[in-house]
Homo-oligomer: A and B are copies of this chain.
Amino acid sequence: MAESVAIPDRRQRRRQESIEEILDVALELMAEQGVAGLSLGEVARQLGIRPPSLYVYFASKNALYDAAFARGAKEIYDLYLDASQQVIATAQSADEALLRMGSIFIRWAIDHPVYAQLLFWRPVPGFEPTPEAYQPAVALMELGAELFAAMQDRRWLRSDVAADDLLRDWTIVISGIISQQLSNEPEVDFTSGRFTAALPSIVTMYVAANGVTTPARKPARKSTTTSATKESRRAHPR
């Protein structure tokens, strides 16, 4: 009896391999022809199968986009998790921490423009990521909030502004670098980009306004030279 259903995991593993293989090809083609220019026929052609066979593994073209989105979100989340732990453990200043985090994040985005466009822009009409695919992106934001709260705790960043606002402004400047680099110099890599090169000055700018030593934001009025007057209000207290 057990024999007839003996090796379901083998089949499933085989199936999973096929899914990953299709995804690999699809991502390659998106890199060549643009994210929204993906053709299932071309995917099938590259794999040596007929287009309808793809529907065994993906219910629709958008399901393929969703899987790509999920893979990219997971990848950047893992990378960011690892990086933030290292940075929290070893960084000596806000400048250093932000430079390292920004560098890792931006480098990944420029190295993976397809993921970056899929995750940060909306290039595919009609496609919305499912909550499952989107989940790592949410976790990524929470990770960011924790990191910024930790920097506030260390008095690296001012505490009279909510960590959420600090993080929002940080995402603005980082996504600004990525967005400008990808749209103005799409073929240039992280090392030689004109906009990626702005990261140090952008970090300095950020810290000039949000570091504890230089409260340049609309003054909190209550002398914020050292600490907050009535405690910080943070999104993810520890």
Most buried by B among A36, A126, A165, A200: A36
The answer for the CA separation of A6 and B3 in the assembled complex, in Å, is 90
Contact of A205 among B122, B124, B177, B217 (CB under 8 A): B217
Q: How many residues of A contact B (CB 8 A)?
A: 47
Q: Which residues 180-205 of A have a CB within 8 angstroms of B? A: 180, 182-183, 186, 194-195, 197-198, 200-202, 204-205
Q: Is A209 an interface residue (CB 8 A)?
A: yes
Q: A34-B125, A218-B201 given as contacts; is B186 within 8 A of A180 (CB)?
A: no
Contact of A34 among B122, B201, B204, B217 (CB under 8 A): B122
Contact of A172 among B122, B126, B198 (CB under 8 A): B198
Do residues B179 and A175 form an inter-chain contact, with CB atoms below 8 A? Answer: yes
Q: Is A120 an interface residue (CB 8 A)?
A: yes
Do residues B216 and A120 form an inter-chain contact, with CB atoms below 8 A? Answer: no
Q: Is the interface of A mostly helix, strand, loop or mixed?
A: helix
Q: Is A210 an interface residue (CB 8 A)?
A: yes
Query: Hey, which chain B residues are within 8 Å of A217, CB to CB?
Result: 201, 204-205, 208
Q: Is A135 an interface residue (CB 8 A)?
A: no
Contact of A176 among B34, B124, B179, B224 (CB under 8 A): B179
Q: A173-B172, A173-B173 given as contacts; is B183 within 8 A of A121 (CB)?
A: yes
Do residues A179 and B121 form an inter-chain contact, with CB atoms below 8 A? Answer: yes
Do residues A186 and B122 form an inter-chain contact, with CB atoms below 8 A? Answer: yes
A–B complex contacts, Cβ < 8 Å, 6 sampled:
A168-B198, A169-B202, A171-B180, A172-B195, A172-B202, A205-B217
